[in-house]
């Protein structure tokens, strides 16, 4: 399937502005899903205020091809620091002869 950027509940600029700061290590990650079937398109709470996950939400992103990614929403300062980046992924894939 596909979804339109016209259906997202907040502009990309609003989303990134809300995510920037020490409370979110990688705000570019949320922009990755814009315009995909994984982006929320309905308001949550007040009309016109967009969609925001709340602490404790369980978020599942899935597709038949890739399986599912399931996470419980927490504040970034309450999560372990993320140290596994793209370079680590590439090294691990190369080590497994997948690239």
Q: What is the pLDDT of residues 22-50, one digit of tens each?
A: 777 665 566 666 666 666 667 777 887 77
Q: Provide the 3-class DSSP secondary structure of residue 15.
A: helix
pTM of the predicted structure, to 2 decimals: 0.53
Taking every pair of Cα atoms in the chain, the longest distance, rounded to a whole number of angstroms, is: 49
pLDDT for position 96: 96
Place of tokens 């399937």: 1
d(CA 45, CA 9): 12
pLDDT for position 77: 82
Which two tokens mark 74? 């927490």
């Amino acid at each position: 399937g596909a979804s339109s950027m016209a259906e997202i509940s907040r502009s990309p600029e609003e989303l990134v502005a809300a995510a920037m700061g020490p409370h979110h290590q990688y705000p570019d990650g949320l922009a990755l899903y814009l315009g995909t079937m994984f982006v929320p398109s309905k308001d949550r709470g007040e009309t016109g205020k967009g969609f925001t996950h709340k602490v404790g939400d369980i978020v599942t992103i899935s597709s038949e091809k890739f399986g599912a990614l399931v996470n419980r929403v927490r504040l970034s300062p309450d999560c372990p620091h993320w140290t596994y980046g793209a370079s680590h992924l590439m090294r691990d894939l190369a080590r497994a002869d997948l690239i």
